[in-house]
Amino acid sequence: MSTASSTFSKGLEGVVAAQTEMSFINGTEGILEYVGISIGDLASKSTFEETVFLLWNKRLPTQPELDAFTKELRSDYAMCDALKARIRALPKDAQPMHALRTIVSSMAMDDPNPNENSVEAARHKALRILAGAPAVVAAFDRHRRGLDIVEPDQSLSFSANFLWMLNGEKPTDAMVRAFDICMITHADHGLNNSTFTARVIISTLSDMYSAMTGAIGSLRGPLHGGANEGVMKMLNEIPSLDQVEPYIMDKIKNKDRIMGFGHRVYKAKDPRAAELMTLAKQLADDTGNMDLYEKSHAIEQIMEREYASKGIYPNVDFYSATTYHCIGLQLDLFTPMFALSRIAGWAGHVIEQLSDNRLYRPTTDYVGPHNVAYTAIEDR
């Protein structure tokens, strides 16, 4: 006999568990909007800083407001000495997502009031984590390569500063813009798994650091943010353009998953993939990686031929892999890039949850036996 009070939905598919003003998704038509503005307009006209302000305040900023927000964000770029020491203490063979999760969690120890959960305090903590996470990723990557940590430059934008700290040299304008567009397109996406995780954690009135740590742990999974690494591994396995067709058809024959295709929500082309496809092509041409883009495009054409009728199209991970590679990022930094961006969305959802909180406590559908007699151990 079931004890569930409502219809069971495996994976909570189709269950409305929260209200938000941040992002709207129409998976049938391939629409994504942040506070009503299309992702295409934001990717082509906005900046990551302005997009974060939009998500957290539910409106675009005036120029003075954007200037003030940017100044506050940049003032939190720097890491304290204790945080640097923790990064240097990490094993050099640690995975970057594990390093990021661990260090973000440890940031609570440097906050004199880590458990303060007023909306104003939550915004401040969110800004601190958003500003500091790029320094954490860059510092860990340099630490594992045996290089000195590069101090942040408060004169640089979020994207430019990260690339500066990672490589120790000022990035080109094209690289900065490409990275900024990646940050914008990944910033929020409804009640995805990691966002749900953040909202569930904060609904207990835990704290911002715990919510962000849990969300990072969720994003690491290959069925969520980790998929972009799988795309790059797949592209690297294909030796040349003329081998794309047999490689993909063999996977289809064996019913292997084609990384970067299909989405739980979209039954049309992921609008973020459309933005990143154009960007990936431009970057590939600029950086001498057109072979990579051409393989990607060939895969998309094969998948469209074989699966478009079933609503399986490229998702955001497919072309973001090529984009990150062209920027010069190591493969295991792809998912941390997703996290750097999605902190904006996670934090916005945490703030929304705190503004009208109710503890998440779903029920289960018990399908086990009843009235089973206990058997003494000597009789088992």
Q: Report the catalytic residues.
A: 224, 263, 317
The first and second tokens of residue 66, run together, are 């954007």
Nearest to 225 by CA among 129, 321, 159, 307: 321
CB-CB contact of 299 with 273 (8 Å): no
The first and second tokens of residue 84, run together, are 């640097």
Q: Which residues of 146-166 are buried (b: 16+ CB within 10 A; e: fewer)?
A: eeebbebeeebbbbbbbbbbb
Phi and psi of 354, rounded to 5°? -65, -30
Angle between helices 334-355 and 193-202 (to 10 degrees): 40
Q: Tell me the C-alpha distance between 276 and 318, whole Å.
A: 9
Which residue type sits at 331?
Answer: L
| Residues sharing a CB contact under 8 Å with residue 379, sequence separation 6 or more, in sequence order | none
By residue count, the chain amounts to: 380
CA angle 22, 137, 276 (to 5 degrees): 50
Q: Tell me the C-alpha distance between 205 and 165, whole Å.
A: 34
Strands (DSSP E) contained in the chain are: 23-26, 31-34, 37-38
**Eight-state DSSP code of residue 169:** S
| Residues sharing a CB contact under 8 Å with residue 269, sequence separation 6 or more, in sequence order | 30, 313, 314
